[in-house]
């Protein structure tokens, strides 16, 4: 009986991996194999496989790849968030590690080591979020 209680306690203390950790693990060594050019950002789309202890169907998981409006900034091109005649940023900028939100149709969908990513212009970034799951 005590062994079962100990095993149950171990199971309840297992933490699920943070989306940032999953993304970094998936991208792995490929990160040095690409470079965002000009005013482009490379953002990774978080893929949520479960809610709490409930596993999501493959179709629900895949939906975020197509309709996900948040991403983790992996790279910023050298011209990203630099003021231009047609666009001013007023000193605001997203940096590597920030969660940003955007319109999914504005970015080019890429797959890097099985991780969905978008290549997106700096001017198409609407803002920065403290978490990937605040913006739906």
Q: DSSP secondary-structure letter at 44?
A: E
Superfamily of chain region 14-129: GroES chaperonin (2.30.33.40)
Element spanning 111, H or E: strand 108-112
pTM: 0.79
Distance CA 57, CA 103 (A): 24
Contact at 8 Å (CB) between 44 and 71? yes
User: Where in the chain are the domains?
Assistant: 14-129
pLDDT in tens, 110-135: 999 889 999 999 999 999 998 887 77
Instruction: Report the pLDDT value the prediction gives residue 9, as an integer from 0 to 100.
Output: 44
**Tell me: the pLDDT tens digits for 1-52?**
555 555 544 444 445 678 888 898 888 866 677 889 999 999 999 887 666 6
pLDDT of residue 15: 52
Cα–Cα dist 80/61, whole Å: 30
Instruction: Yes or no: say if 92 and 81 are a contact pair by the CB < 8 Å rule.
Output: yes
Pairwise CA distance, residues 69 & 17, whole Å = 21
> What is the rounded distance in angstroms from the CA atom of residue 15 to the CA atom of residue 127?
29
């Amino acid at each position: 009986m005590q062994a079962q209680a100990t095993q149950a306690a171990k199971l309840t203390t297992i933490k699920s991996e943070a989306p940032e950790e999953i993304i970094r693990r998936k991208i792995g060594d490929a990160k040095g194999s690409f470079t965002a050019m000009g005013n482009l950002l490379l953002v990774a789309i978080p893929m949520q496989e479960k809610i709490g202890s409930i596993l999501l169907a493959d179709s629900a998981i895949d939906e975020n790849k197509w309709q996900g409006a948040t991403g983790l900034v992996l790279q910023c091109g050298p011209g990203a968030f630099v003021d231009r005649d047609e666009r001013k940023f007023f000193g605001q900028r997203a940096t590597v590690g920030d969660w940003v939100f955007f319109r999914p149709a504005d970015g080019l969908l890429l797959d890097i080591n099985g991780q969905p990513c978008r290549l997106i212009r700096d001017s198409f970034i609407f803002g920065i979020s403290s978490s990937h799951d605040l913006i739906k």
